Amino acid sequence: MNAHPPFPDDENGQVLATMAERGDRLDQPREIDFSVIFPSEDQALAFAITLLRGGAKVSFSEYEENPELSWEVTVHPVMVPRHGDITAFEAMLAAEAEPLGGRNDGWGCGLVL
């Protein structure tokens, strides 16, 4: 197992610490899925189009887990899972989504062993 410095004490840090404990090679790039949810299909589509125009890979679907935010856009960048990069990407997504009524709904990725 690789040695990793302590992670910040927040949700992203906890996820990364768990990944490290499971033996993930956190220095390796991989596709990370960031979910953003919206109250309407039109708002979600507007967000997805903005990201597509910027060259991002996105998925778009209904989101049944939250009836008030029932549309989901998932962004799939390839990146090394570093706390600062993940946090900055989430902040960028939040800034783009907020005017459209959207909010971040987490991120995830597969382990690289």
C-alpha distance from residue 111 to each of 20, 32, 83, 102 (Å): 9, 10, 15, 28
Alpha carbon distance 111, 24 (integer Å): 5
Q: For residue 49, what is the domain's CATH number?
A: 3.30.70.3450
> What domain range is 84 assigned to?
27-108
Alpha helices in the chain (DSSP H): 11-21, 41-53, 83-97
Q: How confident is the prediction along the chain (113 residues), in pLDDT tens digits per residue?
A: 456 678 999 999 999 999 999 999 999 999 999 999 999 999 999 999 999 999 999 999 999 999 999 999 999 999 999 999 999 999 999 999 999 999 999 999 999 99
Instruction: Count up the domains in the chain and report the number.
Output: 1
